[in-house]
Structure 1
Amino acid sequence: MSEQPPGKSPEDVEHLLRQRLEFLHPVAFELIDDSAHHAGHAGARGGGHYRLRIVSAAFAGHSKIARHRLIYGALDELMRSRIHALSIESLTPEEAI
């Protein structure tokens, strides 16, 4: 059985994302690892493919682009190492109803 390198398992990535995005005080956070669906394509060398659904009152008054900039800014080097692709659904609590 092969082991994941340290910090590369989906659980580690989820823990890191939760830590990095804690400043948004999310009321809901869901991370889905879609890496298996992308195995073998040309860009799949480093990092996984993930879908993030995050609900936070901190997104109120911000455009979708501004919300994504907040998230990508917080993830910084993770986007160059452990995450190859991230699909984001960022909602306020009112939008998530």
Structure 2
Amino acid sequence: MKIKKIIKNDIWMSELEMIKQNPRQSVSDYVQKFKMLMQRVDTTGGFGQHYIISKFVRGLSPHLMTMVVGHSPQTLNAAITKAKEIETGFTIA
């Protein structure tokens, strides 16, 4: 049983490492997938806040990533909010 849990955690960790926002995927959909993986991955080893923010931002589409990084978000929620605001700006324009 424990082996299965370790294997699943490794799979989810790999997915988290490779997660990227697809070209037609909304920020909200990307956030949902990102948060789901974060909840599934065993974080007892501890992920720092900087790692989580960085991983989220690096997975955004290139134009969003560049703009979000420019705002230096200090929390995951700030990064998510900024990405959604920028996406909305692109949609309106």
Q: Common fold, TM-score beyond 0.5?
A: no
Give the TM-score taking structure 1 as reference length.
0.32
Higher helix share: 2
Instruction: Identify the structure with bigger relative contact order (alpha carbons < 8 Å, sequence gap 6+).
Output: 1
